[in-house]
């Protein structure tokens, strides 16, 4: 691992206070990734969106976030990371209020798009500021562990907070929650967080920003759309547009004397290997959350809030493992520790795949084992990514890391979700009395199948519910089995590319 700062400069009180303040926007973005899912039924009743509109309400946030991360990371290097963070936080608060008080589906889609836009300014800014605030290697790892813990913890906290708010308030409260946190954050950020930027920034390049957006958004959309509709014209057209724009973006960066994205970063095997490992780990994690939420609610009969609480021990284990990695890596080199963590994650998926009929306890234990592996890996890989580039390039490196996160999460839902759906459909047995030929679309997913079964009388209802639960159990086993190979692939990549720091 390369080092570009003095290892003797230890962090003081001011640096740790700045870190605490930086955790607020990390929590905001992480919670916003997952808090919406429980509000969808009430949003559907209130705003009456169409099927495509509901899809865009869910997806537009991730599309904007993934598409703009690289551009915003580079922009922060140029204009100042704290400045971009504060401006983005104010915009995030305004977009949250717009989404909370939306009176139509179109207004809510616009609000979610703005949340994604301003959210893209927050995440790379926080991680790159950590790179520049904490010069000592151990301090930096501890700060990154806090960042990763807040990010993963917020993903689980989102459903818990969302479930509580929806039991007591209207659906807009899940967005309005952001506003008071930002009102507190902005003056604290200005008072405690030091400004940092690239001392020799290149000229602002709107063409490169546009190309990066046109490359990332269609590619992410193609993955999401293809998971549900296959390789149709929309999927192929989106893929083609993204690939062409990506090629033009790379060509422009190669020819520019001051590129928005320094492609030479990828020549460093530590940087590239850690990125690949991050994407693969998030891919497997997203797949687990995709089937775990359905399993807990639709098969085991838990409420959304109860389901979220089952995952809390795993989230806590992730946080603890992240901080433990700071000390463990002093005794076990990254090239050994990171692959070991992914093997541990694979063990969590193995518990889900081979324990037979799943229970609340087995899901909790599997997610806890998985979380320990993810927590260890994320702290070390993010530290390797940031410490392998000069501080001046921290914004771009952080943005690339965040983009790998987003792509990994999208691939997890799309690829592993497709394995689950295909296995479920092929093993679902529907009695002729249910009229499968006339109601084929009602049996696409576990949720729609159970909903359709509720309309039928016994014994047909019982037959369908039992068949659906059995088919979904088998789908979980196949999906967890596929995730084992993803985790072991991450172990292999990290073993071959990482070296001792």
**What is the three-state SS of 10-66?**
CCCHHHHHHHHHHHHHHHHHHHHHHCCHHHHHHHHHHHCCCHHHHHHHHHHHHHHHH
User: Could you identify the residue written with the tokens 């950020």?
Assistant: 189
- Cβ(140)–Cβ(386) below 8 Å: yes
Tell me which of 442 and 355 has the higher pLDDT. 355
CA distance 501 to 499: 6
Tell me which of 200 and 372 has the higher pLDDT. 372
What radius of gyration do the chain's Cα atoms show?
Answer: 22
DSSP state letters, 207-253 = HHHHHHHHHHHHHHHHHHHHHHH-S-HHHHHHHHHHHHHHHHHHHHH
User: What pLDDT, on a 0 to 100 scale, did the predictor assign at position 114?
Assistant: 92
Among 376, 374, 383, which residue's Cα sits nearest to residue 401? Answer: 383
pLDDT at 35 over 80: no
CA distance 352 to 479: 9
CA distance 218 to 370: 31
Helix (H) or strand (E) holding 266: none
pLDDT at 435 over 60: no
pLDDT band of residue 163 (cuts 50, 70, 90) is: confident
User: What pLDDT, on a 0 to 100 scale, did the predictor assign at position 6?
Assistant: 45
Structure token digits, residue 255: 């020819």
- Cβ(19)–Cβ(130) below 8 Å: yes
Q: Taking the alpha carbons of 61, 64, 70, 72 in that order, is the dihedral positive or negative?
A: negative
CA distance 124 to 46: 35
pLDDT at 227 over 70: no
pLDDT band of residue 5 (cuts 50, 70, 90) is: very low
Residue 499 phi, psi (nearest 5): -140, 170
pLDDT at 112 over 80: yes
**Average of per-residue pLDDT across 209-213:** 83
Q: State the alpha helices, DSSP H only, in 388-459.
A: 394-411, 417-427, 446-453
Of the listed ranges 175-179, 184-188, 211-215, 256-260, the least confidently predicted one is 256-260
Highest mean pLDDT out of 167-171, 372-376, 387-391, 438-442: 372-376
Rounded mean pLDDT of the chain? Answer: 79
Tell me which of 33 and 74 has the higher pLDDT. 74
pLDDT band of residue 500 (cuts 50, 70, 90) is: very low
pLDDT over 70 percentage in the chain = 86
CA distance 342 to 78: 36
User: What pLDDT, on a 0 to 100 scale, did the predictor assign at position 2?
Assistant: 41
User: What pLDDT, on a 0 to 100 scale, did the predictor assign at position 377?
Assistant: 84
**Average of per-residue pLDDT across 379-404:** 74
pLDDT at 343 over 80: yes
User: Could you identify the residue written with the tokens 């913890």?
Assistant: 153
CA distance 278 to 346: 15
Among 123, 25, 24, which residue's Cα sits nearest to residue 65? Answer: 123
User: What pLDDT, on a 0 to 100 scale, did the predictor assign at position 37?
Assistant: 64
CA distance 283 to 486: 8
């Amino acid at each position: 691992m390369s080092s570009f700062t003095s290892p003797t400069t230890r962090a003081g009180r001011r640096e740790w206070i700045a870190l605490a303040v930086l955790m607020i926007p990390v929590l905001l973005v992480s919670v916003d990734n997952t808090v919406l899912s429980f509000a969808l039924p009430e949003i559907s009743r209130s705003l009456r969106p169409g099927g495509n509109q509901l899809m865009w309400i869910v997806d537009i946030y991730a599309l904007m976030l993934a598409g703009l991360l690289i551009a915003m990371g580079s922009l922060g290097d140029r204009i100042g990371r704290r400045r971009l963070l504060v401006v983005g936080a104010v915009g995030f608060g305004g977009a949250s209020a717009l989404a909370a008080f939306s009176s139509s589906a179109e207004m809510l889609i616009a609000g979610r798009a703005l949340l994604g836009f301003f959210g893209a300014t927050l995440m790379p800014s926080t991680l790159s500021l950590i790179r520049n605030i904490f010069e000592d290697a151990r301090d930096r790892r501890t700060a990154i562990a806090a960042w990763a813990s807040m990010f993963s913890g917020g993903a689980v906290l989102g459903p818990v907070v969302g479930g509580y708010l929806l039991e007591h308030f209207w659906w807009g409260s899940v967005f309005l929650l952001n506003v008071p946190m930002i009102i507190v954050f902005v003056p604290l950020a200005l008072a405690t967080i030091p400004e940092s930027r690239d001392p020799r920034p290149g000229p602002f390049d709107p063409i490169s920003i546009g190309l990066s957006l046109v490359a990332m958004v269609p590619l992410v959309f193609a993955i999401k759309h293809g998971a549900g509709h296959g390789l149709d014209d929309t999927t192929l057209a989106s893929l083609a547009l993204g690939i062409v724009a990506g090629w033009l973006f790379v060509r422009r960066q190669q020819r520019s004397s001051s590129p928005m994205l320094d492609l030479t970063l990828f020549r460093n095997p530590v940087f590239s290997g850690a990125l690949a490992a991050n994407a693969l780990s998030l891919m497997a994690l997203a797949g687990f959350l995709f089937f775990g939420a359905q399993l807990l609610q639709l098969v085991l009969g838990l409420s959304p809030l109860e389901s979220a609480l089952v995952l809390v021990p795993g989230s806590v284990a992730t946080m603890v493992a992240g901080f433990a990695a700071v000390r463990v890596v002093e005794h076990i080199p990254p090239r050994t520790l990171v692959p070991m963590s992914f093997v541990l994650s694979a063990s969590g998926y193995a518990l889900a795949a081979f324990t037979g009929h799943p229970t609340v306890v087995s899901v909790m234990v599997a997610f806890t084992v998985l979380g320990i592996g993810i927590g260890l890996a994320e702290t070390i890989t993010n530290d390797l990514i940031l410490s392998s580039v000069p501080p001046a390039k921290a914004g771009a490196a952080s943005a690339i890391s965040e983009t790998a996160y987003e792509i990994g999460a999208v691939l997890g839902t799309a690829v592993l979700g497709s394995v689950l759906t295909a296995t479920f459909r092929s093993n679902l047995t529907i009695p002729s009395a249910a009229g499968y030929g006339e109601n084929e679309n009602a049996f696409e997913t576990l949720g729609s199948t159970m909903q359709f079964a509720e309309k039928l009388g016994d014994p047909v209802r019982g037959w369908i519910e039992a068949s659906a639960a059995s088919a979904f159990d088998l789908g979980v086993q196949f999906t967890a089995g596929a995730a084992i190979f993803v985790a072991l692939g991450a172990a292999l990549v990290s073993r071959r590319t990482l070296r001792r720091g």
